[in-house]
Structure 1
């Protein structure tokens, strides 16, 4: 049995809904493509940081025997009071100094091109041994 709905009209395609769907798909693919490109190149890029120079010098007025001077060169090699030392040797020295006095000043001088992880490693060693009085040396203008 056939139902008569009135005049036989040609079916129409809703163009507005079709255009909305196409724009939605276009925006979805544009956004997902930009996210995948960003995550692929994120591991290969490094952030270049230029450390600032200090314009003033703070004189702490501390006696010379209470200062531990640690230096880090471009390659990450450690120096204690100007002499080369290993990480284990530095930890042993910091343990001895920390046993005498926890208020001993530790000055860390790092080259401006040394990776930050080496400086953080030395700071962690100092804090592990209980030395929290840490100063980072800078160069004056």
Structure 2
């Protein structure tokens, strides 16, 4: 027995379904590419930087009237005043004495360019704790 399915028609390619598949693949690759760029951007933020040297230094007329207390920090983080190496406790007492004499006395911080930033911040914290807020960083042009 023969089954009649209707009149004979040519098979058609479903263009709409094909366009949907291509659109889906296009969206998939666009989203995957955007995730890869975000991962690359995170790696760029971890790059270490070298702080630049100063091309010019400014001297204010008010600061020139009072001689600043010069603190020198070497590459290992040791602190010196007038070429005398000080422990952190001795530095703390010295800054207390300077703040008691003149709280407006300027402080000049000379730091080696290889000094870790944490050592500089520690000295700045000690100055601020004692109320010595006129701190300048000495750089070479």
What TM bracket, shorter-length normalisation? 0.7 to 0.9
- Pair 1:25 & 2:24 matched: no
Other structure's SS at 2:122 match: helix
**Structure 2 CA distance for partners of 1:58 and 1:101, relative to 1, 3 Å:** closer
Report the RMSD for the aligned CA atoms in angstroms.
2.7
In terms of Rg, which structure is larger? 2
Q: Are 1:68 and 1:81, in contact at CA under 8 Å, matched by a contact in 2?
A: no
Residue 19 of structure 2 corresponds to 16
* 2:65 partner SS: coil
CA contact (8 A) 2:66 2:105 kept: no
> What is the TM-score of this pair, normalised by structure 2?
0.74
Q: Is the 8 A contact 1:108 1:137 kept in 2?
A: yes
**Where do 5+ consecutive residues of structure 1 fail to align?**
1-6
Alignment of 1:16-95 (within 5 A): 16-40=19-43, 42-43=45-46, 45-54=47-56, 60-64=63-67, 67-95=68-96
Alignment correspondent of 1:126: 127
Q: 1:21 to 1:102 in 2, by over 3 A?
A: same
Give the aligned length. Answer: 131
Distance 1:118 1:79 in 2: 13
How does the TM-score come out when normalised to structure 1? 0.74
Gaps of 5+ in 2: 1-7
Cα-to-partner distance string for 1:83-138 (whole Å, 9 max, x where unaligned): 11122221221122112221011110111232333222211211111001112212
